[in-house]
Amino acid sequence: MDHVMSVWKGVHDNAVKTLGPGDWNWVLEQLEKPTETEDKYSVFLFNLTRFDATAKKTGLFVEDRVTRKLEDQRRGDNIVEVTGLLIDYDNESQLQERWSMDAVAERFKEYTYLMYSSHSYWKNAPAIERFRLVLPFAKPLMIRSMDEDWYPYVPAIQKFIGYEDAKE
């Protein structure tokens, strides 16, 4: 299956650029180029989601601060496809328990995944491990409407990854 990666420059940037498509090995190659920095807000962020304001006819574009080109805005209304999940295990959120990388690796051992430490991993290590899990989907999830094609699945996804507000 082909995956797409949307990237943006830091948490305050909403201008997304789409890379790909490429297979899972291509995704891994993109992530093998780490950036070391003291400022986590200065590095590129990514997800496995394709945004397309033109296809969705939302008109939600934003100007890239560097190139001055209009890019798709990083908003739910612009999502057309999701090809995987990125899950923050920062152990300060609504997780059922404090997860270790070993415990998450055991839980998802039957799946294809990528796990890596987050920028602030060593902030409180070893007491609190902070890391991310990337779970690619076997097939892309096409999003026509967040209300119909995403939100109904959120409780099952939350339960699957261990969030405590997931109800049966």
Domain boundaries, the chain: 3-161
Cα 46 to Cα 16: distance, rounded to the nearest angstrom: 9
Average pLDDT over residues 104-133: 80
Indicate the pLDDT class of residue 167, thresholds 50, 70 and 90: very low
Q: In what order do the strands lie in the sheet with 15-22?
A: 44-47, 3-9, 15-22, 70-73, 61-63
Average pLDDT over residues 37-60: 82
Decide: 158 and 165 in contact? Cβ < 8 Å: yes
Residue in 162, 161, 91 with CA at minimum distance from that of residue 121: 91
Indicate the pLDDT class of residue 96, thresholds 50, 70 and 90: low
Please say if the pLDDT value at position 101 is more than 80: yes
pTM: 0.79
Indicate the pLDDT class of residue 81, thresholds 50, 70 and 90: very high
Please say if the pLDDT value at position 120 is more than 70: no
Indicate the pLDDT class of residue 18, thresholds 50, 70 and 90: confident
Please say if the pLDDT value at position 57 is more than 80: yes
Q: Which of 23-27, 41-45, 58-62, 149-153 has the lowest mean pLDDT?
A: 41-45
pLDDT at 119: 67
Note the Cα 72 to chain centre separation in Å.
17
pLDDT at 22: 81
